[in-house]
Amino acid sequence: MQIAWISLIPFGIIILSGGIWLKPVPTIYWGGITLTLFISFCSGVIALPLGIILALGRQSNLLIIRNVCSFYIDFMRSLPLIAVLFFGQLLVPLFLPVEIELNRVVRAIIAFAIFAAAYIAEDVRGGIQSIPTNQLEAGEVLGLSRPQIYLLIVLPQALRVALPALTNQAVGLLQNTSLMAILGLVELLGISRSLLANPEFIGRYMEVYVWLGICYWTMCTLISVISKQLESNLNPDKL
């Protein structure tokens, strides 16, 4: 059942992009739950590898790399998300050449990704620090290089340890997409506000926001269930 639900996401994106002989719909016209899931998914796909790179960089023996990664993580974690979103939506276009234009959805995805990557980096770093040093020494004895040790030994275990924290980041990222309603993108919360602006639905705040809460609860619960199932498969001894 979980796989069936997940498989609907790429199918929906294919339809919106003009697959199956349909007319493509530009992302600027996407809205509702489709836009919420699209921004969350794409931001997560970008933020996870970026966060892993930052976590490894913060553990680097090279001072310049360690300091740059540490500064980025600490700087991004000191900023409120809404400020990063405002910068991405309103100020980034001012610094780009006239011939380069990023639509608002792409700018939102990039802003969410660079913000979430700083938090993911700390979660992954905590997982890396939980790995006993004798495993690194065992990898060196086997003749593995430093990148091979981290890629084949450290990172798989670190990600497994950090999975609950990464799930929390995924849920938070999904919920934080509601901030885009402030900036004019009509995602799930934006659709709800548009409905309440309709004269036919004036005063129906309870119905709209209860339904909105049910939608967010369903999506967040689904993420938690999938994560719990994955954690059980990775840690069968803890069942």
Residues spanned by the domain of 36:
30-233
CATH number of the CATH domain containing 39: 1.10.3720.10
Q: Could you read off the pLDDT of 167-222 as tens digits, one per residue?
A: 999 999 998 888 887 777 777 777 777 777 777 777 777 877 888 888 889 889 98
Does any domain span residue 94? yes
Q: Are 192 and 212 in contact (CB under 8 A)?
A: yes
Does any domain span residue 108? yes
More confident residue, 102 or 147: 147
Query: What's the token pair of residue 167?
Result: 């799930």
Distance CA 177, CA 36 (A): 6
Q: Are 165 and 15 in contact (CB under 8 A)?
A: no
Domain count, the chain: 1
Query: What's the token pair of residue 81?
Result: 């998300």
Query: What's the token pair of residue 11?
Result: 């199918």
Q: Could you read off the pLDDT of 37-81 as tens digits, one per residue?
A: 888 888 999 999 999 999 999 988 889 999 999 999 999 999 998
Helix (H) or strand (E) holding 231: helix 205-234
- What is the helix, strand, coil percentage profile of the chain, to 5? 80, 0, 20
pLDDT recorded at residue 2:
46
Residue 138: pLDDT above 80?
yes
Residue 86: pLDDT above 60?
yes
- Extract the runs of DSSP E, i.e. beta strands, from the chain: none
pLDDT recorded at residue 32:
76
Distance CA 219, CA 37 (A): 9
Average pLDDT, the chain: 82
Does any domain span residue 14? no
Quote the distance between the C-alpha of residue 149 and its chain's center.
Answer: 27
Does any domain span residue 12? no
Q: Could you read off the pLDDT of 13-34 as tens digits, one per residue?
A: 666 666 666 777 666 666 677 7
Residue 106: pLDDT above 90?
no
Does any domain span residue 214? yes
Does any domain span residue 9? no
Q: How confident is the model at residue 102 (pLDDT cuts 50, 70, 90)?
A: confident
Does any domain span residue 1? no
| Dihedral sign from CA coordinates of 191, 225, 6, 150 | positive
Does any domain span residue 169? yes
